[in-house]
Amino acid sequence: MSKDESTLEILTDFLNALESATVNAKRQIAGLVKVTPTVTPLDKALGHDASQTAFISTAKGSPKIPFDAEKIQWKDKENENGKFQMTEDYSNPDYKALLAFLNEHIPAKCINSEGFFYWVYGNGTTIGRKPRK
């Protein structure tokens, strides 16, 4: 193993440990944060009222998506950056709810959640996702 390879391996191990510590810290913080019932624009898009709304934390972090993204029809794609999925499943209520959810995260219009990174393309209607590493 060359010196460069060894250095990269050490750096990768350090970053993996740092990621693990960050995830653990987020879990501990989430346990300490008070949660309250909240009707968000996403809830309104889904037709929910306060009685149907989950308790949502106002803390920033990796939000749990309150709908099933697997019910959306995803198309497998690949480019120079690797494999990913995209959708324009307009008639699906879960697609509409996900699009509303992503648009709440302005200006980035992207989130990390449930093991995936989700984003909205510049056309404002196409959603992409790829597994987090």
Question: In this model, does residue 55 exceed pLDDT 50?
Answer: no
pLDDT, residue 83, reads 92
Tokens of 129: 């996702």
Query: Chain-wide mean pLDDT for the chain?
Result: 74
Task: Compute the distance between CA of residue 70 and CA of residue 107 in angstroms, rounded to an integer.
Answer: 25
pTM reported for the whole predicted model: 0.52
Q: Cα(117)–Cα(50) distance, rounded to whole angstroms? A: 28
Most confident of 8-12, 33-37, 79-83: 79-83
Q: What is the mean pLDDT of residues 11-35?
A: 69
Q: 94 and 46 in contact (C-beta within 8 Å)? A: no
Q: What are the distances in angstroms from CA 49 to CA 25, 26, 46, 59, 105?
A: 32, 28, 9, 21, 21
* Model confidence band, residue 67 (pLDDT cutoffs 50, 70, 90): confident
Q: What is the mean pLDDT of residues 88-101?
A: 87
The fraction of the chain above a pLDDT of 70, given in percent, is 64
* 53 close to 39: Cβ distance less than 8 angstroms: yes
| pLDDT tier, 127 (very low <50, low <70, confident <90, very high otherwise) | very high
